[in-house]
Amino acid sequence: MTLEQAQKRVDSLRKLINQHNYQYYALDDPTISDAEYDKLLRELIDIENEFPELIVPDSPTQRVGISPVSELKEVIHIKPMLSLANAFNEDELLAFNKRIKDKLLVDSILFSGETKFDGLAVNILYEQGLLISAATRGDGYVGEDVTHNIKTIHQIPLRLGGDDIPDLLEVRGEVVITHKGFETLNENQRKLGGKVFANPRNAAAGSLRQLDSRITAQRPLSFFAYGIGDYKGNVVLNSHANILKRLQQWGLPVSSEARQLDGVEACIDYYNEIGERRSQLAHDIDGVVFKVDDISQQHNLGFVSRAPRWAIAYKYPPLEEMTQLLDIEIQVGRTGALTPVARLSPVSVGGVTITNATLHNIDEIIRKDVKIGDWVFVRRAGDVIPEVVSVIKEKRSNVSEFVMPEVCPVCGADVLRQPGEAVYRCMGGISCVAQNIQAIIHFASRKAMNIDGLGEKLIMQLTELGLISTVADLYSLTDKQLSELDRMGSKSASNLISALNKSKSTTLERFIYALGIRDVGEATARTLARHYKTIESIEKATTDELEMLNDIGPVVAANIHTFFKQEHNLDIIQRLLLAGIKWESKAAETSQVFAGLSFVLTGSLQKMTRDEATEKLIALGAKVTGSVSSKTNYVVFGEDPGSKYEKAMKLGIETLDEESFMEKINLSNTL
């Protein structure tokens, strides 16, 4: 390849890769697979290695620096990044609205509403479309230079795309970590013996302030633009909604929850709607932000102190509460992991009464300096999992140290901590009742074999009576055995037998997930099922073959390989298959007729569960999401559909009742 040929090819590759980045990160609508994208990037890297004179600062290959910076230097923002005034109740929001109307002499205001991300605010400077620098908010006037780390976030374009690129643009936005990314990050940190982060915000801030961008590149950072600072360009930006639209056209991601709101009552409705869905959002938020949409009205209103008069943050009530830690007990999981669990004096957090909270492991207890008897702040991580956030040391008195047990509190087997692991594990294996019980609970769970009526208390009773010791024993249970149990009766026994029989017709991916292979969740189970198509093929797979699959690394590959080399596990699988568990062959699957289409399910379906509907759609190639946006193609609704249905109607998105949905998927199965 000549230099001229190389130049043409790298120009073509960069344009193509940047377009795919825009489709993936700004529009959330990828048009090629990850493998195809990686192939393009690999080709570009190879050509640049052969012709280093062709490397330019905005090449997609130049996101991670070679060596760490020595310090984070100061950067002066061209226009200050001011704070926002806060409202903590409806009266304060109404007062804000009245002040604006009185100042502008109008009867009603068109607002722009957005979620208030709980992350780290940054300012990104583009000149002639090229990313020049990026800095944290700092004191609003001077921030820290984090350009080397911002470049590692693939959502942020190194060069703006689209038309009418401004000569100068300061982009204001928030760097965040999703709940899923945060859990994965902390899990990896524990395995490596590294620092475990208290919450996604701290993780995002710590990741963005690294001196070594190679560390930042390994962190699951996301970015959302929510405004601009200084701007020099030909496009007239006359409303905040117009600014967000332009930012997205230039390649920057913006929140799908942003919308225009006519009057303060619409703002109150928006606040309540987001509040209802807060626990379902991918990121932490601590409120919503309302801005006067019209830019000329913003200029007329001006600023007071260090905040604009035309914007306000309406905060949600705090999701952290104070309570006393009464005791620390050990919970033994299905992999033998010993997890310290805090027993708390009951406290309501976000409308949910919490009596227990995870302490993760002994390292976390030491790091947070938690002692039995302490007063602590607790929260629901991701608004779901209760955890101890911090200790209130000012209230400490009559406390005692917690010590990890040397033997399993359930079976008495030795407890060991393997090199490189943060957790202690019981070595009892299948002789440990706790591990068996947890394995059976997982096997029967809704997303696994979905055995209705088989709960934890019943499983414990069956185990204690010696009626079951493994998951395979479940399918040998009889009506007579079950009807003689406490609080069962003949009807309940008959229902459970029916549920067990119904569970025998499943899918390969559910069966794989139900087996409880360490680190194999729903997504990995789906990957294995779709690639290998039979359980026998997975049993024969080598670690090298497994590692070639998407999202399966060396650790997970080793866990899968080890699981299928254990005679005990193979025996249980064989017994389950002989009991009648079966699934349709992947060869009989329908074509991907819904590929590229996005569905949202809402309300109660009668002819199938929402999980079953989701599986049907995924099998047909559809993407199923939890929230409605302009990118949604269909909203399937059952009884009591709620706000998702209403939003679909407002956005003009096609809705399907259950009957129409059934017709659509049945028709698709015949294609």
CA 506-508-510 angle, 5° bins = 65
Q: Which of 102-106, 291-295, 417-421, 464-468 has the lowest mean pLDDT?
A: 417-421
| Residue 494 burial (C-beta neighbours within 10 Å; 0-12, 13-18, 19+) | middle
- Tokens, residue 404: 């990890």
Q: 120 and 192 share a domain?
A: yes
Q: Kindly state whether residue 67 falls inside one of the protein's structural domains.
A: no
pLDDT in tens, 225-255: 999 999 999 999 999 999 999 999 999 999 9
Residues 278, 283: Cα–Cα separation, whole Å: 9
Residues 411, 469: Cα–Cα separation, whole Å: 14
pLDDT the model gives residue 27: 65
Q: 599 and 628 share a domain?
A: yes
Residue 499 above 80 pLDDT?
yes
Confidence of residue 66 (pLDDT cuts 50, 70, 90): low
Confidence of residue 124 (pLDDT cuts 50, 70, 90): very high
Residue predicted with more confidence, 631 or 370: 370
Residue 65 above 70 pLDDT?
no
Residue 34 above 90 pLDDT?
no
Strand order in the sheet with 598-602: 623-625, 598-602, 634-637, 654-657
Q: 380 and 254 share a domain?
A: no
Check: CB of residue 264 under 8 Å from CB of residue 97. Answer: yes
- Tokens, residue 234: 């030909």
Q: 309 and 324 share a domain?
A: no
Domain count, the chain: 6
Separation in Å, CA 557 to CA 193, 531, 564: 20, 14, 11
Residues 422, 435: Cα–Cα separation, whole Å: 19
Q: What is the CATH classification number for the domain harbouring 171? A: 3.30.470.30
Q: 275 and 380 share a domain?
A: no
Q: 337 and 452 share a domain?
A: no
**From the CA atom positions of the chain, what is the Rg in Å?**
28
Q: Kindly state whether residue 423 falls inside one of the protein's structural domains.
A: no
Q: 135 and 221 share a domain?
A: yes
pLDDT in tens, 161-198: 888 999 999 999 999 999 889 989 988 888 777 777 76
- 116 flagged as catalytic: yes
Q: Which of 72-81, 413-422, 544-553, 581-590 has the lowest mean pLDDT?
A: 581-590
Q: 103 and 135 share a domain?
A: yes
Query: Which one, of 48, 37, 74, 24, lies nearest residue 550 by Cα?
Result: 37
Q: 377 and 491 share a domain?
A: no
Q: 138 and 8 share a domain?
A: no
Compute the average pLDDT of residues 255-268: 95
pLDDT the model gives residue 384: 56
Q: Tell me the percentage of the chain whose pLDDT exceeds 90.
A: 43
Residue 588 above 50 pLDDT?
no
Compute the average pLDDT of residues 39-54: 83
Q: What average pLDDT is seen over the chain?
A: 87
Last residue of one domain, picked from the residues 386, 404, 422: 404
Compute the average pLDDT of residues 284-313: 91
Residue predicted with more confidence, 31 or 378: 378
pTM: 0.50
HSE of 87, CA atoms in CB hemisphere, 13 A: 22
Give me the residue label for tokens 């359980």: 535
Catalytic residue among 79, 116, 395, 447: 116
HSE of 616, CA atoms in CB hemisphere, 13 A: 20
Last residue of one domain, picked from the residues 315, 333, 363: 315
Check: CB of residue 165 under 8 Å from CB of residue 250. Answer: yes
Residues 299, 308: Cα–Cα separation, whole Å: 10
Q: What is the CATH classification number for the domain harbouring 388? A: 2.40.50.140
pLDDT the model gives residue 141: 84
Residues 527, 539: Cα–Cα separation, whole Å: 15
Q: Domain range holding 108? A: 85-315
Separation in Å, CA 570 to CA 442, 560, 563, 669: 18, 12, 9, 34
Residue 381 above 60 pLDDT?
no
Q: What is the CATH classification number for the domain harbouring 597? A: 3.40.50.10190
Residue 547 above 50 pLDDT?
yes
- Tokens, residue 577: 């298959």
Check: CB of residue 383 under 8 Å from CB of residue 279. Answer: yes
Q: Which of 24-28, 514-518, 525-529, 569-573 has the lowest mean pLDDT?
A: 24-28
Report the DSSP pairing between strands 285-292 and 311-315.
antiparallel
Last residue of one domain, picked from the residues 315, 344, 367: 315
Query: Which one, of 314, 373, 386, 309, lies nearest residue 347 by Cα?
Result: 386
Residue 382 above 70 pLDDT?
no
pLDDT in tens, 319-353: 788 999 999 999 988 778 899 999 999 998 765 78
Q: Kindly state whether residue 417 falls inside one of the protein's structural domains.
A: no
Confidence of residue 587 (pLDDT cuts 50, 70, 90): very low
CA 243-137-28 angle, 5° bins = 45
Residues 427, 421: Cα–Cα separation, whole Å: 15
pLDDT the model gives residue 316: 85
Q: Kindly state whether residue 421 falls inside one of the protein's structural domains.
A: no
pLDDT the model gives residue 98: 95
Residues 666, 620: Cα–Cα separation, whole Å: 11
pLDDT the model gives residue 369: 95
Q: Kindly state whether residue 611 falls inside one of the protein's structural domains.
A: yes
Q: Kindly state whether residue 543 falls inside one of the protein's structural domains.
A: yes
Residue 590 above 60 pLDDT?
no
Residue burial 177-208, b: 16+ Cβ < 10 Å; e: rest: bbbebbbebbebbbeeeeebbbbbbebbbebb
Q: 212 and 295 share a domain?
A: yes
pLDDT the model gives residue 627: 79
Confidence of residue 589 (pLDDT cuts 50, 70, 90): very low
pLDDT the model gives residue 431: 58
Q: 199 and 345 share a domain?
A: no
